[in-house]
């Protein structure tokens, strides 16, 4: 093999990360790579100018990728966000200490300490305790059910055998089992057995502390884990989308996981045509696996297409036949959890698996599984991450072993544990402080003739390095990628045409894509040919979709922003301009596709043509969107407890003769949908809803006018007089009767202060920030019903809302006064009125206790 005859000059320093005293000779400058030093003068520096076209550019056909396959039938939940986990401020909580349960006082030391420091932290103490105490009340089942199991693990509870069991002796084991098993949702008091009551008296003092410490510790651990996952989810490192070439270069299969839990491995045949969008051939076949698929790797070695799949605790290997049928070869279990899998590009069926325990194993059909390396510690310096990675090198018996701090080459036949460091997170590669390896990949698998088959790609959160295994520690190329998320996916493609540089695709977890042109073969050093370019991401496709109502729009946006978990690309052979087909897989299981064509050197003045959406593209987006909106949204993680109404209302079995109205109401209630007039047995009327009334607006302008003239007080007086007096405006009267006639059992008190108060705002947690309604006139105050007495004023509105939802028995005052002639004119309004108080808009207030 050729070695570059003259390497680019670089300084070599040893030391830890972020050693700032040394000048960075590379200057992080992208055009520096274009300045290859002339070998010798006779050819002249003029001729040594890089022959690579300056304007090498892959032009996308459309402004963004398009959905290739219809969305899956399972709903997708984006999971926790930073807003869910972070808490900022906390000053107001400290000024007004809130009463919390004693139990939670001792929860998790670290968070308690952190509360003494200002600013932001994951969960600060007072709100955390508040939250925890609420959690214990509201989700007793979730909080206490695992407790029994936990305590069973931690205590030795069984007494000596053969001892006679008297009635005074309680079997703690049974009790603890009870604790876990028999609690109905939501209600901690239901089914409280005598045994449990006795136990709670006996075990109270112990339990109060152990619940807190056990639960708090676990909760804290879980929160920390979720937060770390949110910042960097390395489970999908390497990518879960693979392109398995078929019989002809234009046909192939996409292999990817989909389904709600990503536990189905799909095989979709796709045919690529240079002139148009790829065609999906038939429906996908799928294999159901026992866990979520995290990584899919494919290689064609000696004519054999192999497919390796990594799940959390299992790895599997398939052989794909010429017809595209997968046949299982091996399934391996990884007890501590697998972090990486790679297939050998040299020997058919050989694969390397990395475990969280720090072990690297090699499997091949002849020798079976063999551990070749094990080190629970990281390579260069101490880093807590258990992430490990392994890949192959140009020598089939030498593997690279990587972790967050560096990459080492290990000879599988040599003595265990020894090897040379290929990459060191330190001054050798002028790494920054806090820089860590996120991905390493062997780049030499695409055939020896185009690029050095000894190159390795190493990505950190800041930069990309190309390292030659023959010159360890000194990166041949370093480029600051500047991706706003973790680069966990990379693909090197064959050159689109002989003589052209090879495209290297790099994708961040957030879906950002970059394309680099890597040139350099034979005796020249690998370098970037031309400036790297960014490619459109999935969220750039938003403009291709029709505009939707905000909720669906938000759902679409969220779906398009789903993290990228897979990347695959193919360059089908074509006579004219080379075309690159790029496939992306998102965490929601969507496969998107983008076509790019290589642009020649554009003239100095001709602006690059901008891509636009074709009618076909927008049509396919609309189809996809329609299918997406048909998928029901993900159910919330926790729903309000449902009680068995059969048990509760067993004695009131519905009587058949009651007519259509209660039946319709009952079904509407049971289905949780909007009550429509026809449910109540009323015929839809042709009458339109009354035109919007100039109600509050007019009052406001009136009031403003008065205030402008300095007569606000007089205006208010006038208003009060007219509001409580008998000469009430007919309009207001009408409004009220509209409401009361719709829900015939409602009290007329609904509009206590309706005229000037805004609809109940969902931001209830900040009462002082809410625009305050004018003070309720004493005349109205006195007419309030008994139920409103003693209820804090800010809750009255909620109660009112609830009252509004519950058809109360008995005639409410006001209902009788409704003129029957008006009853029919208002039937179309309830949907609007109800919409303002629908429980969906106020999740905080829908707890059943409130209504009790």
Partner 1 sequence: MSDFSEELIRPTTEDEQEEPHVPSGTGMCLPWLQKHIETIATGGKQEKDFAQTTSACLSLIQEALLKHQWQRAAEYMHSYFQILEDSDSNKRQIAPEIIWRLGSEILYYHPKSNVETFNTFADRMKNIGVMNYLKISLQHALYLLHHGMLEDANRNLSQAETWRYGEKSSSQEVLINLIQAYKGLLQYYIWSKKKMELSQLDEDDYAYNTASQNMLNHSWKTSINLCALIQIPGVWDPFVKSYVEMLEFYGDQDGAREVLTNYAYDEKFPSNPNAHIYLYNFLKREKAPREKLISVLKILYQIVPSHKLMLEFHRLLRKSENEEHHKLGLEVLFGVLDFAGCTKNITAWKYLAKYLRQTLMGSHLAWVQEEWNSRKNWWPSFHFSYFRAKSDWKEDKALACEKALVAGLLLGKDCRYFRNISKQDHQVLKKKIKQMKKSVKKYSIVNPGL
* Minimum separation from the CB atom of position 459 to partner 1 (A): 13
The half-sphere exposure of 627 on its side-chain side, counting CA atoms within 13 A, is 14
* Nearest C-alpha neighbor of 258 from the set 270, 269, 267: 267
Contacts of residue 608, defined as CB under 8 A and 6 or more positions apart, other chains included, come to 57, 59, 599, 602
> Is 609 near partner 1 (CB under 8 A)?
no
> Is 369 near partner 1 (CB under 8 A)?
no
Among 15, 16, 40, 731, binds partner 1 (CB under 8 A): 40
In the region spanning residues 810 to 849, those forming contacts with partner 1, defined by CB under 8 A, are none
By CB under 8 A, which span of 39-47, 152-160, 238-246, 815-823 interacts with partner 1? 39-47
Contacts of residue 698, defined as CB under 8 A and 6 or more positions apart, other chains included, come to none
**Contact mark string toward partner 1, 480..499, x via CB under 8 A:** --x-xxx-------------
For residue 268, what are the β-bridge partners? 254
Helical packing angle, 194-231 and 125-138, nearest 10°: 130
Rounded Cα distance between 537 and 799, Å, is: 48
Rounded Cα distance between 295 and 312, Å, is: 10
> Is 636 near partner 1 (CB under 8 A)?
no
In the region spanning residues 4 to 23, those forming contacts with partner 1, defined by CB under 8 A, are 4-13, 21-23
Among 53, 122, 172, 788, binds partner 1 (CB under 8 A): 122
For residue 579, what are the β-bridge partners? 597
Rounded Cα distance between 198 and 204, Å, is: 10
Among 70, 260, 531, 777, binds partner 1 (CB under 8 A): 531
Mapping DSSP to helix (H, G, I), strand (E, B) and coil, where does residue 90 land? coil
**Contact mark string toward partner 1, 448..477, x via CB under 8 A:** x---xxx------xx-------xxxxx---
> Is 81 near partner 1 (CB under 8 A)?
yes
* Minimum separation from the CB atom of position 36 to partner 1 (A): 9
Name which of 326 and 487 has its Cβ closer to partner 1.
487
> Is 395 near partner 1 (CB under 8 A)?
yes
* Burial zone of 295 (CB within 10 Å; 0-12 exposed, 13-18 middle, 19+ buried): buried
* Burial zone of 45 (CB within 10 Å; 0-12 exposed, 13-18 middle, 19+ buried): exposed
> Is 30 near partner 1 (CB under 8 A)?
yes
Name which of 42 and 726 has its Cβ closer to partner 1.
42
Name which of 24 and 709 has its Cβ closer to partner 1.
24
For residue 408, what are the β-bridge partners? 401, 421
> Is 554 near partner 1 (CB under 8 A)?
no
Name which of 90 and 284 has its Cβ closer to partner 1.
90
Label the pairing between strands 242-245 and 251-258: antiparallel
Among 15, 16, 49, 704, binds partner 1 (CB under 8 A): 49
In the region spanning residues 168 to 207, those forming contacts with partner 1, defined by CB under 8 A, are none
> Is 433 near partner 1 (CB under 8 A)?
yes
Label the pairing between strands 326-333 and 477-480: unpaired
* Cβ 512 vs Cβ 534: under 8 Å: yes
Which token pair is 460?
């950190």
In the region spanning residues 665 to 684, those forming contacts with partner 1, defined by CB under 8 A, are none
> Is 384 near partner 1 (CB under 8 A)?
yes
b/e burial code for range 796-834 (CB count within 10 A of at least 16 → b): bbbbbbbbbbeeeeeebebbeebeeeebebbbbbbeebe
Residue with tokens 């009131």: 652
For residue 333, what are the β-bridge partners? 314
* Cβ 238 vs Cβ 297: under 8 Å: yes
In the region spanning residues 773 to 812, those forming contacts with partner 1, defined by CB under 8 A, are none
Name which of 83 and 655 has its Cβ closer to partner 1.
83
Q: How far is CA 611 from CA 530, 540, 604, 614, 689, in A?
A: 21, 12, 19, 9, 47
> Is 347 near partner 1 (CB under 8 A)?
yes
For residue 266, what are the β-bridge partners? 256, 286
Among 95, 97, 119, 789, binds partner 1 (CB under 8 A): 119
By CB under 8 A, which span of 66-74, 76-84, 240-248, 488-496 interacts with partner 1? 76-84
Among 102, 113, 722, 781, binds partner 1 (CB under 8 A): 113
Among 205, 282, 550, 604, binds partner 1 (CB under 8 A): 604
Rounded Cα distance between 600 and 58, Å, is: 9
> Is 28 near partner 1 (CB under 8 A)?
yes
Contacts of residue 788, defined as CB under 8 A and 6 or more positions apart, other chains included, come to 796, 799
Name which of 115 and 569 has its Cβ closer to partner 1.
115
Among 73, 181, 434, 659, binds partner 1 (CB under 8 A): 434
> Is 34 near partner 1 (CB under 8 A)?
yes
Name which of 434 and 721 has its Cβ closer to partner 1.
434
> Is 93 near partner 1 (CB under 8 A)?
no
Among 345, 406, 426, 501, binds partner 1 (CB under 8 A): 345
DSSP secondary structure of 33-51: GG-PPPS-GGGHHHHTS--
In the region spanning residues 566 to 595, those forming contacts with partner 1, defined by CB under 8 A, are none
Among 302, 323, 576, 821, binds partner 1 (CB under 8 A): 302
In the region spanning residues 128 to 157, those forming contacts with partner 1, defined by CB under 8 A, are none
> Is 396 near partner 1 (CB under 8 A)?
yes
Name which of 121 and 580 has its Cβ closer to partner 1.
121
In the region spanning residues 217 to 276, those forming contacts with partner 1, defined by CB under 8 A, are 221, 224, 227-228, 230-232
Name which of 420 and 713 has its Cβ closer to partner 1.
420
How many residues form the binding site for partner 1 (CB under 8 A)? 116
DSSP 8-class letter at 148: H
* Nearest C-alpha neighbor of 564 from the set 633, 636, 618, 514: 514
* Nearest C-alpha neighbor of 480 from the set 443, 426, 516: 516
* Cβ 467 vs Cβ 422: under 8 Å: yes
> Is 367 near partner 1 (CB under 8 A)?
yes
Which token pair is 334?
């990884």
């Amino acid at each position: 093999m050729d070695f570059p005859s003259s390497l680019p000059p670089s300084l070599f320093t040893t030391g830890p990360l972020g050693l700032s005293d040394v000048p960075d000779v590379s200057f992080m400058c992208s055009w520096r790579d274009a300045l290859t030093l002339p070998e010798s003068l006779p050819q002249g520096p003029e001729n040594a100018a890089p022959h690579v076209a300056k304007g090498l550019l892959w032009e996308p056909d459309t402004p963004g990728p398009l959905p290739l396959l219809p969305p899956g039938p399972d709903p997708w939940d984006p999971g926790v966000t930073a807003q869910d986990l972070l808490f900022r401020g906390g000053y107001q909580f400290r000024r007004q200490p809130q009463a919390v349960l004693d139990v939670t006082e001792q929860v998790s030391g670290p968070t308690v300490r952190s509360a003494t420091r200002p600013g932001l932290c994951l969960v600060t103490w007072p709100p955390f305790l508040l939250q925890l105490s609420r959690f214990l009340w509201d989700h007793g089942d979730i909080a206490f059910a695992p407790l029994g199991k936990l305590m069973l693990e931690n205590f030795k509870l069984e007494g000596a055998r053969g001892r006679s069991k008297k009635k005074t002796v309680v079997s703690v084991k049974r009790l603890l089992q009870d604790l876990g098993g028999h609690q109905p949702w939501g209600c901690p008091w239901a089914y409280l057995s005598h045994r449990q009551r006795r136990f709670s008296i006996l075990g109270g003092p112990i339990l109060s502390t152990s619940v807190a410490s056990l639960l708090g510790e676990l909760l804290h651990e879980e929160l920390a884990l979720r937060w770390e996952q949110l910042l960097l989810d390395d489970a999908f490192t390497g990518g879960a989308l693979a392109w398995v070439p078929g019989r002809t270069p234009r046909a192939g299969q996409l292999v990817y996981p989909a389904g709600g839990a990503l536990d189905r491995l799909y095989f979709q045949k796709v045919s690529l045509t240079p002139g148009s969008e790829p065609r999906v051939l038939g429906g996908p076949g799928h294999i159901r696996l026992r866990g979520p698929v995290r990584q899919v790797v494919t290689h064609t070695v000696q004519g054999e297409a192999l497919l390796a799949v990594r799940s959390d605790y299992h790895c599997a290997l398939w052989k794909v036949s010429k017809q595209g049928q997968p046949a299982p070869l091996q399934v391996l279990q990884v007890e501590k959890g697998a972090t990486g899998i790679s297939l050998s590009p040299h020997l058919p069926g050989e694969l390397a698996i990395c475990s969280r325990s720090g072990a690297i194993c090699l499997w091949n059909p002849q020798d079976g599984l063999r551990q070749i390396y094990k080190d629970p510690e990281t390579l260069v310096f101490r880093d807590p991450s258990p992430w490990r990675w392994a890949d192959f090198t140009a020598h089939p018996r030498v593997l690279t072993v990587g972790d967050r701090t560096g990459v080492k080459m290990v000879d599988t036949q040599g003595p265990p544990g020894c090897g040379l460091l290929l990459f060191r997170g330190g001054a050798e590669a002028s790494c920054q402080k806090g820089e860590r390896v996120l991905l390493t990949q062997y780049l030499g698998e695409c055939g020896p003739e185009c690029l050095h088959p000894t190159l390795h790609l190493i990505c950190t959160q800041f930069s990309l390095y190309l390292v030659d295994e023959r010159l360890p520690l000194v990166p041949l190329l370093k480029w600051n990628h500047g991706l706003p998320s973790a680069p966990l996916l990379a693909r090197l493609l064959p050159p689109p045409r002989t003589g052209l540089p090879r495209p290297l695709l790099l994708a961040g977890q957030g879906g950002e894509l970059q394309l680099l042109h890597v040139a350099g073969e034979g005796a020249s050093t690998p370098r970037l040919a031309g400036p790297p370019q960014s490619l459109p991401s999935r969220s750039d496709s938003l403009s291709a979709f029709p505009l939707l109502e905000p909720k669906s729009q938000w759902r679409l946006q969220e779906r398009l922003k789903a993290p990228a978990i897979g990347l695959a690309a193919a360059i089908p052979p074509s006579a004219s301009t080379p075309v690159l087909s790029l496939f992306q897989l998102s965490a929601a299981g969507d496969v998107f596709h983008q076509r790019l064509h290589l642009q020649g050197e554009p003239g100095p003045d001709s602006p690059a043509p901008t891509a636009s959406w074709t009618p076909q593209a927008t049509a396919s987006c609309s189809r996809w969107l329609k299918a997406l909106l048909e998928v029901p949204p993900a159910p919330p993680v926790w729903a309000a407890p449902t009680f068995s109404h059969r048990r509760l209302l067993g004695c009131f079995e519905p009587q058949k003769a009651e007519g259509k109205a209660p039946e319709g109401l009952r079904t509407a209630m049971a289905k949780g949908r909007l009550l429509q007039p026809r449910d109540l047995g009323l015929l839809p009327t042709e009458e339109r809803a009354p035109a919007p009334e100039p109600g509050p607006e007019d009052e406001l302008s009136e009031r403003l006018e008065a205030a402008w003239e300095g007569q606000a007080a007089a205006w208010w007086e006038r208003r009060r007089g007219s509001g409580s007096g008998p000469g009430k405006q007919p309009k207001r009267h009408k409004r009220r009767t509209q409401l009361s006639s719709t829900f015939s059992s409602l009290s007329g008190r609904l509009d206590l202060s309706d005229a000037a108060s805004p609809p109940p705002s969902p931001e209830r947690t900040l009462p002082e920030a809410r625009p305050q309604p004018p003070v309720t006139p004493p005349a109205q105050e006195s007419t309030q019903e008994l139920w409103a007495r003693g209820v804090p004023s800010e809750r009255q509105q909620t109660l009112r809302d609830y009252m509004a939802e519950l058809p109360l028995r008995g005639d409410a005052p006001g209902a009788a006064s409704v003129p029957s002639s008006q009853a029919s004119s208002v039937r179309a309004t309830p949907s609007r009125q109800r919409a303002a108080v629908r429980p969906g808009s106020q999740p905080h207030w829908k707890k059943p206790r409130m209504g009790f």
